[in-house]
Structure 1
Amino acid sequence: MKLRIRVMVVDDEPLSREELKHLLCVYEQVELVGEADCGESALEKIVMLEPDVVFLDIEMAEMSGLSLARMLQRMKQPPSIVFATAYPNYAVEAFRYEAVDYLLKPFDEGQVGETVLRLIRKFEKERLDSSEHTLRKLAIEGEDGIVYVSPHDILYCCREIKETLIVTKQKRYCTKVSLKELEQKLKGNLFFRPHKSYLVNVQKVEQLTPWFNGAYQLTLSGTDEKIPVSRNYVKALRQRLEL
């Protein structure tokens, strides 16, 4: 399974955002899932898109990057942070938020490459650590107790308002656990995130069909439900599925 690092760029300067996106998009492990021009918008998108890494400017109007980083640290599964700023004097404070790196503007192609390499090493290590402790059964807490479900029996999971639905051929389970937390727990098993609201068992995939605007739909064995595949994920999904 190829490593895929979901990245968001937050900067109130459009040219800086475009430059950084251009430098990042050359790395096949990096998937740009979103961008924002202010802290308030970034917070909303981070909650919705659940990126693995946020490249974050510090000096922004209304909410600074440091203030946003402070808020992100309160999340159950906070994204990793790379500060990207024109001001070197914030470095010491920035690393209090466990920043992976600190990039200075104007961005240097080599330094951005070193940052990406550092991120790749970090997530590869996390994946290796996770695979060494592969989940045997998923514990789903409910009103009547804890149900244990084999990951191989799960067809797909999806987010519905404030709950996550876990679907097997026999039954559906509801949990308060977020989709990102489930994705972390199921690492080392054959699961793929084809859409921000879905996580699917690739062993159950039977067909991939065009939908509209470059998006696709998945047909899974054991269910009539059609699973959406965002166009940004189609290539990665095919690489997982095809010989």
Structure 2
Amino acid sequence: MTTPLRLFLVDDEMPALRRLEDVLHDCASECPIEILGTATNGVSALAQLAEADADAAIIDIQMPQMSGIELARELQSLSQPPAVIFATAFEEYGVAAFEVRAVDYLLKPIRRERLLDALNRVAEMRAAQAQAEPASHARSHFSVTERGRLHLIPVAEARYLKAEQKYITLRTREREYLLEDSLTRLEEEFGSRFVRIHRNCLVARDSLVGFEKMPSNGGETHWVAVLKDVPERLAVSRRQQHVIKEFKKNG
């Protein structure tokens, strides 16, 4: 059985989105699809696509806040960007679409045959990529929204992830960000990159410099982790002190 193409749709006009969904369903008998989600502007689409595992995004071009061309350019920063198919009523953006590596450029009203050609092209690209490299399901970026502005933080820049009440503190070399996520889920997704040192804290393996003993208030000492480029010391729980032994063994 053919794995459905995972699609994400972006258009600022709801009737256009509904029409696109109808044409896609007409194509499904020849090219199975799964619609992961929709967005009515580029900013929202970028945030969702940073989290989604989409094979392709079908994107309108003239949209408020962020144009389809700008969105496609931003998507290229992802480690596994979706293929881009533009769907627009305007012919004059063809050169710009080529510059952002669009798979196809469809003019509205979209015909089933043209859309099916574009989907088959994406399916062929996906099959070629699957043969060339192993699949990776971990994100390359964390998406953080602050005061209406979207930040894409490369996972490689994270020094630690610490659970605090309802949020996760994401620490980079420069500053802290707040994530709405679960530490357990993050550990499952990024277990090869991070190691748990406490029930509320994961640290990046490549940022770990070593461990130190520090005095506690009661006069006893406890272990803390020392991280590269981060001044604070992070407590290591007794349950996780095997990490210290493994670090010394591998170091």
TM interval, shorter chain, is 0.5 to 0.7
2:21 is matched with 21
RMSD: 3.0
Tell me, in whole angstroms, the C-alpha distance in 1 between the residues paired with 2:90 and 2:191: 49
Cα deviation digits, residues 33-74 of structure 1 (max 9, x gap)? 000001111111112223121101100112111111111111
> 1:148-159 alignment to 2 at 5 Å?
none
Cα deviation digits, residues 1-50 of structure 1 (max 9, x gap)? 62332100000011111111111124252110000001111111112223
CA contact (8 A) 1:9 1:34 kept: yes
CA distance 1:94–1:161, change in 2 (3 Å):
farther
1:175 aligned onto 2:197: no
> 1:76-225 alignment to 2 at 5 Å?
76-130=79-133, 160=182, 164-166=186-188, 173-175=191-193
CA distance 1:160–1:11, change in 2 (3 Å):
same
Equivalent AA in structure 1 for residue 85 of structure 2: V
Q: Note the C-alpha offset of 1:134.
A: 9.4
1:58 is matched with 61
Equivalent AA in structure 2 for residue 10 of structure 1: V
2:51 is matched with 48
* TM-score, normalised via structure 1 length: 0.54
Tell me, in whole angstroms, the C-alpha distance in 1 between the residues paired with 2:187 and 2:122: 31
Larger Rg: 2
Cα deviation digits, residues 95-122 of structure 1 (max 9, x gap)? 1111111111011111111111111211
How many percent identity over aligned positions? 32
Cα deviation digits, residues 116-154 of structure 1 (max 9, x gap)? 111121112222334xx799xxxxxxx9xxxxxxxxxxx
CA distance 1:161–1:37, change in 2 (3 Å):
farther
Tell me, in whole angstroms, the C-alpha distance in 1 between the residues paired with 2:57 and 2:184: 24
Instruction: Find the residue that maps to 1:76 and give its secondary structure.
Output: coil
CA contact (8 A) 1:3 1:29 kept: yes
Tell me, in whole angstroms, the C-alpha distance in 1 between the residues paired with 2:70 and 2:135: 36
2:74 is matched with 71
Structure 1 gap ranges (5+)? 136-142, 144-158, 177-243
Tell me, in whole angstroms, the C-alpha distance in 2 between the residues paired with 1:89 and 1:18: 24
CA contact (8 A) 1:163 1:174 kept: no
Instruction: Find the residue that maps to 2:8 and give its secondary structure.
Output: strand
Structure 2 gap ranges (5+)? 137-158, 160-180, 195-251
CA distance 1:76–1:126, change in 2 (3 Å):
closer
1:199 is matched with none
Instruction: Find the residue that maps to 1:165 and give its secondary structure.
Output: helix
* TM-score, normalised via structure 2 length: 0.53
1:2 is matched with 2
CA contact (8 A) 1:163 1:175 kept: no
Q: Note the C-alpha offset of 1:89.
A: 0.7
